[in-house]
Amino acid sequence: MSATRVFVARLAGCSVFDPAGDRVGKVRDVLVVYRRDESPRVVGFVVEVPGKRRVFVSIGRVTSIGSGQIITTGTVTLRRFEQRGGEVRVIAELLGRKVTLRHDASRGTIEDVAIEETDGGEWVVGQVFLRKPRTSPSPFGKGATIFAAWSDVDEDAARAGEAQSAEHVIAAYADLLPADLANTLLDLSAERRYEVAEELSDDRLADVLEEMPEDEQVSILNRLQDDRAADVLDQMQPDDAADLIAQLSEERGEALLGLMEPEEAEDVRMLLSYDADTAGGLMTTEPVIVSGDATVAEGLAMIRRHEIAPALGAAVCVVLPPYEPPTGRFLGMVHFQRMLRYPPNERLGTLLDQQLEPVNVGASALEVTRVMATYNLVSVPVVDDNHRLVGVVTIDDVLDHVLPEDWRSQDPEQPLGRTRTRIRRAPATSTGRRTTNGTR
């Protein structure tokens, strides 16, 4: 081995290579088993390989740990990882636990764990990096940190039911993309998943929920207080928020809509008025909208904003006032590549794509998909009967619609099914609200 002691938090996200130097995947966790009178033994790594599959790599197949990478011997078995009884995931389950130091009975929280190689070639938990409770009354102060040998700490109190902090799990996975963090949370126990969700910021949790299966979205949202749930929904894309609210009871959905920001709630209510299998049900209500007098420089500045999703930033929509959906008459779209070919002071109204026709808000999802596939589009504008822009359907909206409902949890090597059961938004009632099978 190239290192004799490694801190687990630093291994999260490290690349794993085979002997030929080909990248196998990324480390997501370290697996240990407890022993009666000895330190926990490292049995292997949980590694994410292409296709979001989590596999187990035995420590016996690892030849080198260090320099931000792990090298294995031979090929990696791609059987999906399943945690066995007695196994503990260090990042997901051990970090954040509260322990007692045996020599002085003081308390501390595990912030990191060092694994080390013994003379016999076995890898074990050697030390833990602890943070003690703060002694300063300042809310910004932090407690002192110390290193302690595993044999010097006792975690029985934590196992007896004391709540564990999820902050350290979040810190270890801070660099994960939302889809990867969503997969990581789904690997945790239900209670641990809720703990981590509670600690995530509103915008981070919103991004993660958008990448989760619908039943898991509802499960997490139902564990949040109404005020927090509304704040998270405010941060979600309106179409994703509408799909999520459509799965809640009518009473909870109305309560959350009442607590959301008025502008966000208005967009969600509008989306709820459309059937889920139409352009109106698929679209987002936040396209990049400009006037015909706007310049190329202004258009590029708008799509350059970091909060604009790539698919939405691929083109700007040119309309007559007003400039919020439903806008004035839709004039056309200008793709960003076309903007790059013209000087900064060129008016966008002169660069409209004359061949691209918008789809009507009532168009079927199949029709929208055909239009996007036929013309190789990443987004298509949606207009109402008065030719006013009400939103755009992006490629990710279409993919999420045509893929099976459980595609996120399916084995990536198995063929995807061709059908998907979607919650349909039934025709509006006299109050403008929609109900579906008793859930909406």
pLDDT tens string 127-157: 999 988 876 655 555 678 899 999 898 875 4
Categorize the per-residue pLDDT at 168 as very low, low, confident or very high, splitting at 50, 70 and 90.
Answer: low
Q: What is the pLDDT of residue 63?
A: 87
Top-confidence residue, 224 or 137 = 224
pLDDT of residue 190 exceeding 90, the answer is no
Contact 348, 334 (CB under 8 A): yes
* C-alpha span between 395 and 402 (Å, rounded): 11
Q: What is the pLDDT of residue 433?
A: 35
* Ranges 44-53, 127-136, 138-147, 427-436, most confident: 44-53
Sign of CA dihedral 181, 184, 190, 193: negative
Task: List, as one string, the DSSP characters of 265-300.
Answer: HHHHHHHHTS-TTBHHHH-BS---EE-TT-BHHHHH
Q: Picking from 66-70, 87-91, 134-138, which range would have the lowest pLDDT averaged per residue?
A: 134-138
Token pair in block for residue 11: 């291994």
Contact 248, 221 (CB under 8 A): yes
**Unique residue bearing structure tokens 């026709």:** 357
Alpha helices in 129-225 (DSSP H): 156-159, 167-172, 178-186, 190-199, 202-209, 214-223
Residue 165 backbone phi and psi in degrees, to 5: -75, 140
Q: What is the pLDDT of residue 259?
A: 95
Q: What mean pLDDT is predicted for residues 290-295?
A: 95
Q: What mean pLDDT is predicted for residues 2-28?
A: 85
3-state SS class at 142: coil
* C-alpha span between 419 and 21 (Å, rounded): 40
* C-alpha span between 288 and 308 (Å, rounded): 8
pLDDT of residue 191 exceeding 90, the answer is no
Q: What is the pLDDT of residue 132?
A: 85
pTM: 0.66
pLDDT of residue 327 exceeding 70, the answer is yes
Residue 233 backbone phi and psi in degrees, to 5: -60, -35
Categorize the per-residue pLDDT at 440 as very low, low, confident or very high, splitting at 50, 70 and 90.
Answer: very low
Which class for 376: exposed (0-12), middle (13-18), buried (19 or more C-beta within 10 A)?
exposed
Annotate 307-364 with three-state secondary structure.
Answer: CCCCCHHHEEEEECCCCCCCCCEEEEEEEHHHHHCCCCCCEHHHCCCCCCCCEECCCE
Q: What mean pLDDT is predicted for residues 175-179?
A: 83
C-alpha 396, offset from chain centre: 14
- Domains of the chain, CATH where assigned: 5-87 (2.30.30.240), 92-168 (2.30.30), 180-274 (1.25.60.10), 289-402 (3.10.580.10)
Q: What mean pLDDT is predicted for residues 51-57?
A: 84
**Mean of all residue pLDDT scores within the chain:** 84
Categorize the per-residue pLDDT at 92 as very low, low, confident or very high, splitting at 50, 70 and 90.
Answer: confident
pLDDT of residue 298 exceeding 90, the answer is yes
pLDDT of residue 195 exceeding 50, the answer is yes
Q: What is the pLDDT of residue 434?
A: 37
Task: List, as one string, the DSSP characters of 87-132.
Answer: EEEIIIIITT-EEEETTT--EEEEEEEEEEE-TTS-EEEEEEEEEP
Q: What is the pLDDT of residue 430?
A: 33
* Ranges 62-66, 275-279, 287-291, 422-426, most confident: 287-291
Looking at the DSSP assignment, which residues form a beta bridge with residue 129?
A: 112, 147
Categorize the per-residue pLDDT at 343 as very low, low, confident or very high, splitting at 50, 70 and 90.
Answer: very high
Categorize the per-residue pLDDT at 409 as very low, low, confident or very high, splitting at 50, 70 and 90.
Answer: low
- At 244, which helix (H) or strand (E)? helix 238-245
Q: What is the pLDDT of residue 97?
A: 84
* C-alpha span between 92 and 155 (Å, rounded): 16
Report CA dihedral (332, 337, 338, 341) to the nearest 10 degrees: 160
Q: What is the pLDDT of residue 400?
A: 78
* C-alpha span between 404 and 399 (Å, rounded): 10
pLDDT of residue 402 exceeding 60, the answer is yes
Q: What is the pLDDT of residue 411?
A: 52
Q: What is the pLDDT of residue 418?
A: 42
| Secondary structure tally for the chain: helices H, strands E | 16, 19
Q: What mean pLDDT is predicted for residues 182-196?
A: 84
Neighbours of 334 (CB within 10 A): 26
Q: What is the pLDDT of residue 422?
A: 42
